[in-house]
């Protein structure tokens, strides 16, 4: 039963990535062309998911929206990993006051959820995809730092580390050759989780108008637009939200599945 | 006298594959009698005890008969068995350090056992708790009752556990290796405690251990279990002087190292009973 | 008493975090490129009026001076004056704090009430379909953005069933002094529910794993051995031990909850801190933005402090360091 979760997750994530990639070369209809004669069509053979208030095919907009979702997620998580992992590994290897500082700073950063940081950034320099990505990335650094630190601490107790240090290997080499490969799996799980959080944050920001500006379709923005028609055509709001939920669900299941897969092995090493 | 505990053809299996761990054992226990259950890990002795108490995991399948005071226990639901536990039968486990809830004072945990099965005022209950804590040999029972488990030593915690097992004067007390996790010096005192306490309450005891020497100090009769079956039954003296099964012979020999001449190699169970390959 | 020392350390860390956070907020808003005065007046405005506005708003002073002026004022409760309307930011923010507080506090109270039984069920029955269902439900619940849950709820309860209003807010005691509890509750049901759906899903997962751990503990087995049924043993001895991890999560989740509330306020047009923040951002009224974010961060840090301190109450092992 557990295994099925992992596979469902993989399928969902693959679907989203596929949608994003496909949208680069083809969409059923033009996602940007306003069609005044086709407004608010319900689902049917011509438009699988119907059309929105501008007459644009919803499915096409969803596919293009997947692009932003994946893009923002990948950049934000990469930023977070690039910032958080070195800090975490450093804290784990050095211990002492270095570790304390990293922990304290990450605690303070925790008080700034991605959204708040993004709002601040948007207020300061104006909202854009960049501010969203940077804000979400920075806000996710503490999570990576903590996980990297905890995993590094476990690795440091292993005999092969002691052997490496006894033979005079430099700290730098140890961290790259021995620590990183061994914490990669745990970081992978965290990446999955952070990706899901990033998607939720980006969706909220798009909804609030604080991320990618129109006319580029984003799932959050589509939800915002759909709200205006909530009394006349409520079903419109269903699809972009579903897309968000399924993407996040897929990533969470993936992360859980990976964690379960690793858990028995983690216990053996610890 | 009808037996207090009567186990007939008890079979215990686990999981969907119904892997059988206990293969149809039968034994009886008279009121006031002390029965030792000897075996190594994996012999099925603990699982048997848990089956009597109804504490097996939900993926366990029990068949056969377990009668306590004439009442059939196999097939009863948890809600029907729970009132019997702590009242008619109780159990003392091996590891005292983790047996108690770390977030509750010890006295409260003992009182719980009392109040679960009897309607008493809290004042009367506390009185009974202090009383029994003193009976199990704890000095300054008032202070102990108000203390949290982490403030007590292993020996003290085990005494508390014994108090919890005896406070409702059950007819049957099952002890699963109660002294194995304790320091050697403390072991003897706890065994003495069990001896006197069981006599005072008049309870029967099913005493599980891997150590024949410990069992011989406390019990009248003994069962030897091996790979889910009973291979020998008899009184302590019978088993010690004339063991019939080779495995028992090995156990007796290893328990009797004082009988080995100096300079001679110490005996092992394998000398008497060769294990099958793959076990 | 060693717990006294622990409390003092926590308070110190709290104060330091507050200080650092205020610096971070100030720097992000004021040290990044982008001139407020230009943004307010528009790009076509002449340099003289821009310079004038900058002087009036005190933006021509050095950064350090401006920071200490702002921080110093905050200690006396003065959050500055709006760049746009010149009204006191504190006066603007104060009534809205109550509104957002209602939303957040009610959600924070209801979520554990849902998560506890659900998590218990998921733990106890984890090998059967009931547990799997409970787990799946919580998995889905935390994948849904709170504002999507809100929109769905509006579609079901406001548009289709017409049981509840689709947006808006009523004070518990309105301007004329009348009590309006029914309307108050009606307007809060859906927003709170949106937040609770997500929060309780997150909590359920932690409750579940906390209870699963309890199930494997020896003291749980002891509890069953003395006569408690499975459920009651888990309840009596599990809740307190699970509470430690649950309290941790609630503390961690508070920041997320606040942020969720900001978005939910937009969905339901509730006049709280969230909507004020967002309109300030739209208007580039940066001093208001600074003030509100500071208030929010302050709230998060205070709650974190309180949850930290509550551990001392829940887990007796942490109290007397001498009894090791």
Nearest-CA distance C73 → chain A (Å): 21
Name the pTM for this structure.
0.81
Token pair for A188:
């992978």
Check CB contact of C41 with chain A, cutoff 8 Å: no
* The pLDDT of residue C316: 62
- Partner-chain contact C148 A121, CB within 8 Å: no
**What part of A 208-237 touches C (C-beta under 8 Å)?**
208, 210, 223, 226-227, 230-231, 234, 237
Token pair for C73:
């004022």
* pLDDT tens for each residue of C94-144: 888 989 998 999 998 999 899 988 998 998 888 788 888 888 899 999 999
A abuts C (3+ Cβ pairs < 8 Å): yes
Check CB contact of C284 with chain A, cutoff 8 Å: yes
- Partner-chain contact C148 A204, CB within 8 Å: no
> What ipTM describes this predicted complex?
0.86
CATH domain B30-58+75-217 topology? Rossmann fold (3.40.50)
* The pLDDT of residue B278: 43
10 Å CB burial of residue C198 (0-12, 13-18, 19+) is buried
**What is the spatial distance between Cα A81 and Cα A178, in angstroms, rounded to a whole number?**
18
**What is the spatial distance between Cα A156 and Cα B239, in angstroms, rounded to a whole number?**
53
Contact between residue A64 and residue A37 where contact means Cβ atoms under 8 Å apart: no
**Cβ neighbours of residue C35 under 8 Å, at least 6 residues apart?**
C50, C54
Chain C neighbors of B90, CB-CB under 8 A: 225-226
* Chain B residue closest in CA terms to C243: B103
Nearest-CA distance C88 → chain B (Å): 49
* Chain C residue closest in CA terms to A251: C143
Check CB contact of A130 with chain C, cutoff 8 Å: no
Token pair for B28:
């009886």
User: Across the interface, which of C17, C147, C301 has its CB nearest the CB of A204?
Assistant: C147
Nearest-CA distance A114 → chain C (Å): 9
- Partner-chain contact C229 B82, CB within 8 Å: yes
Pairwise pLDDT comparison (A175 vs A22), residue with the higher score:
A22
pLDDT band at A266 (very low <50, low <70, confident <90, very high): very low
**What is the spatial distance between Cα C202 and Cα C112, in angstroms, rounded to a whole number?**
10
**Cβ neighbours of residue C115 under 8 Å, at least 6 residues apart?**
C199, C200, C201, C203, C204, C206, C207, C246
β partners of residue C173 = C179
β partners of residue B68 = B5, B71
Token pair for B120:
């008493």
Q: What is the dihedral of CA A157, A159, A162, A168, to 10 degrees?
A: -140
Residue A89 scores a pLDDT above 70: yes
* Chain A residue closest in CA terms to C36: A124
Residue with tokens 């009026």: C49
- Partner-chain contact A119 C293, CB within 8 Å: yes
- Partner-chain contact C227 B78, CB within 8 Å: no
Residue A270 scores a pLDDT above 50: no
Residue A223 scores a pLDDT above 60: yes
User: Across the interface, which of C219, C224, C323 has its CB nearest the CB of B98?
Assistant: C219
10 Å CB burial of residue C219 (0-12, 13-18, 19+) is buried
Token pair for C129:
């379909």
Q: B85 by DSSP, 3-state: which?
A: strand
**What is the spatial distance between Cα C172 and Cα C184, in angstroms, rounded to a whole number?**
5
Check CB contact of C297 with chain A, cutoff 8 Å: yes
Contact between residue B43 and residue B49 where contact means Cβ atoms under 8 Å apart: no
Token pair for B135:
């009976």
Torsion sign (Cα): B244, B248, B250, B253: negative
Task: Please report how many Cα atoms fall inside a 13 Å half-sphere around the Cα of residue B126, on the Cβ side.
Answer: 8
Q: What are phi and psi of A228, to 5 degrees?
A: -65, -25
User: Across the interface, which of B53, B95, B151 has its CB nearest the CB of C225?
Assistant: B53
Q: What are phi and psi of C81, to 5 degrees?
A: -120, 140
pLDDT band at A56 (very low <50, low <70, confident <90, very high): confident
A abuts B (3+ Cβ pairs < 8 Å): no
Check CB contact of B186 with chain C, cutoff 8 Å: no
- Partner-chain contact A110 C296, CB within 8 Å: no
**What part of A 232-261 touches C (C-beta under 8 Å)?**
234, 237-238, 241, 244-246, 248-249, 252-253, 256
User: Across the interface, which of A119, A230, A248 has its CB nearest the CB of C143?
Assistant: A248
Residue A74 scores a pLDDT above 50: yes
* The pLDDT of residue A231: 83
Cβ pairs bridging A and C (under 8 Å)? 129
* The pLDDT of residue C322: 38
- Partner-chain contact A241 C151, CB within 8 Å: yes
Q: What is the mean pLDDT of residues A38-49?
A: 75
* The pLDDT of residue C12: 87
The list of chain C residues with pLDDT below 70 reads 1-2, 34, 39-40, 43-44, 314-324
User: Across the interface, which of C151, C166, C296 has its CB nearest the CB of A223?
Assistant: C151
* The pLDDT of residue A244: 95
* pLDDT tens for each residue of B189-222: 888 888 998 988 889 999 998 888 888 888 989 9
Measured CB to CB, residues of chain C less than 8 Å from chain B are 127, 217-219, 221-230, 232, 236-237, 240-241, 314-317, 320, 323-324
pLDDT band at A268 (very low <50, low <70, confident <90, very high): very low
- Partner-chain contact A227 C151, CB within 8 Å: yes
* pLDDT tens for each residue of A97-150: 888 888 878 877 877 788 888 888 888 888 888 989 999 999 999 989 989 988
Q: What is the mean pLDDT of residues A218-242?
A: 88
**Cβ neighbours of residue B67 under 8 Å, at least 6 residues apart?**
B5, B6, B7, B8, B73
Nearest-CA distance B94 → chain C (Å): 10
Residue ranges of the domains in chain B?
Answer: 30-58+75-217
- DSSP per-residue codes, C249-283: HHHHHHHHHHHHHHHHHHHHT--SHHHHHHHHHHT
Q: B53 by DSSP, 3-state: which?
A: helix
**What is the spatial distance between Cα A74 and Cα A62, in angstroms, rounded to a whole number?**
18
- Partner-chain contact C301 A111, CB within 8 Å: yes
- Partner-chain contact C143 A246, CB within 8 Å: yes
The list of chain B residues with pLDDT below 50 reads 277-279
Residue whose C-alpha is closest to residue B233's, from B241, B247, B218, B243: B243
């Amino acid at each position: 039963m557990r295994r099925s979760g992992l596979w469902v997750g993989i399928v969902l994530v693959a679907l989203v990535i596929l949608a994003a990639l496909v949208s680069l070369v083809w969409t059923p209809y033009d996602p940007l062309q306003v069609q005044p004669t086709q407004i608010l069509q319900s689902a049917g053979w011509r438009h699988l998911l119907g059309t929105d208030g501008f007459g644009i095919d919803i499915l096409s907009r969803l596919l293009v929206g997947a692009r932003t979702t994946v893009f923002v997620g990948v950049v934000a998580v990469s930023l977070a990993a690039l910032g958080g992992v070195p800090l975490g590994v450093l804290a784990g290897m050095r211990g002492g006051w270095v570790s304390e500082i990293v922990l304290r700073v990450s605690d303070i950063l925790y008080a700034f959820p991605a959204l708040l940081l993004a709002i601040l950034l948007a207020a300061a320099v104006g909202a854009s995809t960049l501010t969203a990505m940077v804000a979400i990335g920075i806000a996710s650094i503490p999570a990576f730092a903590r996980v990297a630190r905890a995993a590094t601490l476990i690795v440091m107790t292993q005999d092969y580390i002691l052997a490496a240090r006894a033979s005079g290997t430099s700290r730098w080499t140890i961290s790259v050759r021995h620590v990183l490969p061994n914490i990669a799996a745990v970081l992978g799980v965290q990446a999955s989780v952070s990706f899901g959080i990033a998607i939720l944050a980006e969706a909220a920001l798009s909804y609030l108008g604080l991320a990618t500006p129109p006319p580029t379709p984003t799932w959050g923005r589509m939800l915002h637009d759909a709200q205006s028609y909530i009394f006349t055509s409520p079903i419109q709001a269903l699809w972009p939200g579903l897309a968000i939920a399924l993407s996040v669900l897929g990533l969470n299941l993936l992360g859980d599945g990976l964690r379960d897969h690793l858990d028995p092995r983690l216990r053996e090493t610890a | 006298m009808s037996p207090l505990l009567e186990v007939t053809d008890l079979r215990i299996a686990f999981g969907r594959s119904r892997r059988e761990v206990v293969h149809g054992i039968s034994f009886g226990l008279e009121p006031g009698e002390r029965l030792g259950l000897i075996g190594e890990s994996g012999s099925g002795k603990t699982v048997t005890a848990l089956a009597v108490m109804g504490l097996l995991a939900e993926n366990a399948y029990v068949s056969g008969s377990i009668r306590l005071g004439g009442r059939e226990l196999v097939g009863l639901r948890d809600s029907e068995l729970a009132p019997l536990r702590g009242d008619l039968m109780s159990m003392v486990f091996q590891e005292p350090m983790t047996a108690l809830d770390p977030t509750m004072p010890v006295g409260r945990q003992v009182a719980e056992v009392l109040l679960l099965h009897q309607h008493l005022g809290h004042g009367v209950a506390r009185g009974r708790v202090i009383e029994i804590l003193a009976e199990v040999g704890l000095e300054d029972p008032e202070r102990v009752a108000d203390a949290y488990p982490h403030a007590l030593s292993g020996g003290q915690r085990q005494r508390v556990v014994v108090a919890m097992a005896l406070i409702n004067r059950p007819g049957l007390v099952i002890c699963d290796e109660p002294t194995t996790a304790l320091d050697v010096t403390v072991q003897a005192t706890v065994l003495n405690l069990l001896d006197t306490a069981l006599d005072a309450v008049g309870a029967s005891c099913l005493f599980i251990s891997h150590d024949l020497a410990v069992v011989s100090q406390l019990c009248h009769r003994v069962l030897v279990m091996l790979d889910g079956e009973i291979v020998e039954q008899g009184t302590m003296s019978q088993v010690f002087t004339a063991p019939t099964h080779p495995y028992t012979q090995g156990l007796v020999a290893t328990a009797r190292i004082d009988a080995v001449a100096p300079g001679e190699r110490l005996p092992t169970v394998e000398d008497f009973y060769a294990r099958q390959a793959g076990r | 008493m060693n717990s006294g020392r622990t409390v003092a350390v926590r308070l110190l860390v709290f104060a330091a975090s507050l200080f650092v956070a205020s610096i971070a907020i100030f720097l992000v808003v004021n040290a990044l490129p982008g001139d407020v005065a230009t943004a307010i007046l528009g790009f076509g405005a002449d340099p003289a009026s821009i310079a004038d506005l900058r002087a009036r708003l005190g933006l021509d002073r050095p950064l350090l001076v401006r920071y200490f002026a702002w921080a110093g004022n905050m200690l006396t409760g003065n959050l500055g004056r709006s760049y746009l309307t010149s009204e006191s930011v504190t006066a603007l923010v104060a009534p809205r704090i109550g509104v957002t507080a209602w939303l957040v506090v009610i959600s924070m109270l209801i979520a554990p009430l849902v998560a506890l039984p659900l998590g218990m069920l998921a733990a106890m029955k984890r090998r059967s379909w009931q547990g799997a269902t409970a787990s799946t439900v919580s998995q889905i619940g935390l994948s849904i953005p709170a504002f999507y849950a809100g929109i769905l709820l509006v579609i079901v309860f406001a548009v289709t069933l017409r049981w509840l209003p689709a947006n808006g807010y009523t004070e518990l005691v309105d301007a004329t002094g009348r009590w309006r509890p029914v309307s108050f509750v009606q307007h809060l049901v859906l927003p709170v529910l949106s937040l609770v759906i997500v929060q309780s899903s997150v909590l359920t997962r932690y409750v579940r794993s906390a209870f699963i751990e309890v199930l494997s503990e020896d003291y749980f087995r002891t509890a069953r051995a003395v006569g408690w049924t499975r459920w009651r043993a888990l309840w009596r001895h599990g809740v307190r031990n699970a509470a430690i991890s649950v309290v941790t999560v609630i503390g961690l989740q508070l920041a997320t909850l606040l942020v969720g509330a900001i978005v939910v306020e937009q969905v339901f047009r509730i006049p709280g801190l969230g909507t004020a923040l967002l309109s300030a951002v739209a208007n580039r009224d940066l001093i208001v933005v600074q003030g509100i974010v500071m208030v929010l961060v302050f709230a998060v840090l205070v709650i974190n402090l309180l949850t930290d301190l509550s551990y001392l109450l829940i887990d007796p092992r942490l109290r007397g360091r001498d009894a090791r």
